[in-house]
Structure 1
Amino acid sequence: MSLLSSIDAALAAFVTFVWGTPLLILLVGGGLFLLITSRARPYRYLQHSIDLLRGKYDNPDDPGQVSHSQALSTALSGTLGLGNIAGVAIAISTGGPGAIFWMWVTAIVAVATKFYTASLSIMYRGYDSNGELQGGPMYVIREGLSKKWRPLASLFAIAALLGLLPSFQSNQTVQLLRTAFAEPWGWANEDNSFLFDLSLGLVLAVAAGVVIAGRIQRIAKFAEKIVPAMVVFYLALTFIVIAYFWQQVPAAFMSIISDAFSGEAIAGGALGTVIATGISRGAFSNEAGIGTESLAHGAAKTREPIREGLVATLGPIVDTLIVCTCTALVILVTGVWQEADGIKGVSLTANAFSNVFGESLGPILLLIMVLPLAFSTMVTFWYYGTKCFAFLFGHKWLKFYSLSYIILIIVGAVASLDIINNLIIGMYAIMAIPTMVSTLLLHKKVNYSASQYFEHNQKKFTGKVN
């Protein structure tokens, strides 16, 4: 067995272990608990969430670095794109159609989870070594809990540095570029594929370096312009494919529901694999309970923690319930997942689009949407990583982290997808532990703040506050 095979096997075993029953209970069970204890407020005030997103209550003098809409766009740029396209394809190829059902479950409880984690990211902001106000799970733990919980803050920051690597995004982006352009046009083949991938990795690295030089303000402005446009474009593409195969839509939904409780669509019929795959990919899709979204929402300009919590609830609705469902339907109605024969990730989704738009145009249309979102994810993850790095080591060595991050974009372009995917999924599980534990310990603080906020602003809302 080669060294890479041994590493891949070890990481696969690690993922199976960390995404076991205890973590699934923590994420889904914890989310259900938060849903109940919140009295479903995050679901009842979605209109107010939209008003906040539109800037109706923005105050430029409030502490923070970006607006509500920019914070949400930044958070979405870290989840939309390859997490919703390649991630859904991986979920179906690994766990069958039933995995999508469990992604839906995570999204429903994620609305409540994000309400709490984002509210806490504002409620317990802290100052970094440069004296700048920051938010995120590590600051929530440091500022909101006693010293005995401090190791959890470091655990989150370390896991985030490993889990928020740009390698998956660069790997899948290069793969799609090769599929859409290089191979059909004869630019890449078995003899020069490594050189082609390396060249594209260098281009992505240089472009990322230009954007991240502007820090969160430039990233937020970039995300605010790109994310909404690309979501609308992608939904239009998926609706065309779904309409073309409209007769297969009922069967696709039936397979999602039936396989969710049988596991018959995967080898060995392992129901546990279906559930674990769906929940882990759902968490990777919307990041609720993982804590990364709090790093973005913690930068919002506001003095009201509940406002940012409400804005954050829109994330799982967009990225998982809408975008992921559309991706899943495209893959299922076209039947490409049954004919994949080892093909997975973004190439599987590209094959699905090729069924309608043709082998040349299909991948190109997908690329138009994937490339800017994958790129925005890379630069957003850099921002998340700098916050975690600075929390652990201060700002003195931050330039070395940025340089390493840029190099990893290049490495990801030519590395093994399985190794990258397993490392990231494993670290996401580790990040979830301090995030969910601190959220559950501090949930009463959010409940109290929410009661005060809704009672004080009752006249502004439609509906009665109970």
Structure 2
Amino acid sequence: MGESESQLELVLGKIVGFVWGPPLVTLLVGGGLFFLLYSRLLPYRHLGRGLRLLFKPPDRDDQGSLSHFQALSTALSGTLGMGNVGGVAVAIATGGPGAIFWMWMSALLGIATKFYTCTLAVMYRGKDSEGTLQGGPMYIIREGMGRRWRPLAYFFAFAGLLGTMPIFQVNQLVQVVRDVIATPAGWTTDDQHFLFDLGLGALLAILVLGVVAGKLPRLARVTSTLVPAMVLSYLSLTGVVLISNSDRILPALELIVVDAFTGQAVVGGAIGAMIITGVRRAAFSNEAGIGTEAMAHGAARTREPVSEGLVAMLGPIIDTLVVCTCTALVILISGVWTSGDNDGVSLTAAAFGSLFDEAGSVVMALTVSVLAFSTVLTFWYYGSKCLGFMIGARHQHHYVWFYLFLIVLGAIASLNTVISVVDTMYALMAIPTMTASLALAPKVNQAARRYFRKDAGGGG
């Protein structure tokens, strides 16, 4: 690593430490706790209804572009993948096993947060400069909070444009393919892999171009097929590992809980730092309160905003409480996390390699790569909508060429630099998203009361 690159990582690390300080953590965690109490546990009492709505077909005259299932699949494709595999590994490597506990707590509060943010995303949809109905925090602010709050909408769009860059997903995708498949096969080496990384990045860019040329409808079809299949594949693989090591699950869970309040494992850091690590990685895992997921759910075909909020709140359960927990247990049971020899997705791959045979690691790498690819596709949609809000929807198609360049760049970039840039932008996105959601929370409660007065089968 060159001196200039090292200095850049140091500066970016300080920026991340500043923006992810106690004020932002208080906004996300405290805001989630407020939503939980203000709703009187409403989202948690209606999880079953959310599941039923997931498979309810939209009415023919409903506005929007995606079914409930497609909206959730698109939103999950932006979170499942490297945030749940590489992100969990980063959390354990930097914050210790206890960081997983704080990821859990953040996800539990995130259920209520997503209910509010995604209900608002449908409630305050607005038209872009070409007259197409859109959703997301920038439209929530513009349509629901008045002209004087308009700068906050542009603030989110700018942060969202940078925060949804694909560099982390591509970086980790290339890393896992290189470590698990390419290097053992002799296609490249640990020391000389620049050309391999560059070539794989270029191939990914071509594949992405082929999908995004069909815009949102094609993206929804791809993600609604890939995401469920790959999640089931990944959970089946981790299930085999955990069942064969069932006697080590309870000790691993105990380690997570105990370390959450001692902060002694690995880095010996303060509990406050571990909480911040857990909340930061949970935000990257399920995006509750960040606002990106609201852009996907805002495109749902429904006339009932609350129904989409009920569907959206399933996200943190699936991606953090289920998938992230499975990943964390595999890493902790394997014991490879104590060596400090691996980081990011390579740590997860090493864990599978130590508990499974080589074929298991390859299946894991391929499954995670497909999930990461679906995330890259969804992030293109988020970024283009942010750009369209800023400069006009008729210009947003130009974003694809910049995005393809970012894909290639992400394949060869430094992991620490990538994480710092994305973490900073996620923090900045949370500020307008949570501010608007807290201000408009009474509107959600009013809509929820009207919705639940209807018959149990209504309001899809």
TM-score bin, normalised by smaller chain: over 0.9
Q: Which residue of 2 aligns with 1:176?
A: 176
Secondary structure of the corresponding residue to residue 196 of structure 1: helix
Q: Which residue number in structure 2 is paired with residue 207 of structure 1?
A: 207
Which segment drifts farther, 391-400 or 244-253? Answer: 391-400
- In the TM superposition, what whole-angstrom CA distance separates every residue of 1:429-450 from its partner, at most 9, and x where no partner exists? 1100000000000000000000
Alignment gaps of 5+ in structure 1: 462-466
Work out the CA distance in 2 between the residues paired with 1:191 and 1:90.
22
Q: Which residue of 1 aligns with 2:289?
A: 289
What is the count of residue pairs matched by the alignment? 458
Deviation (angstroms), 1:336: 1.1
Q: Which residue of structure 1 aligns with residue 31 of structure 2?
A: 30
- Superposition deviation, residue 120 in structure 1: 0.2
1:93 Cα deviation after fit: 0.3
CA contact (8 A) 2:73 2:224 kept: yes
Note the C-alpha offset of 1:240.
1.2
Query: Are 1:428 and 2:426 matched, yes or no?
Result: yes
Letter matched to residue 36 of structure 1: L
Q: What is the aligned partner in structure 2 of residue 49 from structure 1? A: 50
Deviation at 1:147, TM superposition (A): 1.7
Superposed displacement of residue 400, structure 1: 2.8
CA distance in 1, matches of 2:5, 2:355: 37
Asked if the contact 2:95–2:269 (Cα under 8 Å) also holds between the matched residues in 1, the reply is no
Match of 1:373 in 2: 371
Q: Which residue of structure 1 lines up, in the alignment, with residue 356 of structure 2?
A: 357
Instruction: Give the TM-score normalised by the residue count of structure 1.
Output: 0.96
Aligned to 1:230, what secondary structure does the other structure show? helix
Normalised by the size of structure 2, how large is the TM-score?
A: 0.97
Residue 453 of structure 1, CA deviation: 0.4
Report the counterpart of residue 414 of structure 1 in structure 2.
Answer: 412
SS of the aligned residue for 2:252 comes to: helix
Seq. identity, %: 54
Tell me what 1:157 maps to: 157
Residue number in structure 1 paired with 2:233? 233
CA distance in 2, matches of 1:442, 1:376: 32
Q: Contact 2:124 / 2:140 at 8 angstroms: preserved in 1? A: yes
**Equivalent position of 1:464 in the other structure:** none
Q: Where do 5+ consecutive residues of structure 2 fail to align? A: none
Output aligned runs, 1:256-405, within 5 Å.
256-341=256-341, 343-358=342-357, 360-405=358-403
Post-superposition offset of 1:191: 5.8
SS at match of 1:83: coil
Offset of 1:395 from its aligned partner? 2.8
Give the deviation of 1:382 after TM superposition.
0.3
Q: Tell me if the contact between 1:160 and 1:385 (Cα under 8 Å) persists in the aligned partners.
A: yes
Amino acid at match of 1:179: D
- CA deviation after TM superposition for structure 1 residue 459, in Å: 7.1
The root-mean-square deviation of aligned C-alpha atoms, in Å, is: 1.3
1:84-233 matched pairs, under 5 angstroms: 84-190=84-190, 192-233=192-233
Greater Cα shift, 348-357 or 443-452: 348-357
Asked if the contact 2:125/2:133 (under 8 Å) is kept, the reply is yes
Q: What is the distance in 1 between the residues matched to 2:79 and 2:386?
A: 18
The one-letter code matched in structure 2 to 1:54 is F
Distance 2:458 2:197 in 1: 54
Q: State whether residues 244 and 356 of structure 1, in contact with CA within 8 Å, keep that contact through their aligned partners in structure 2.
A: no
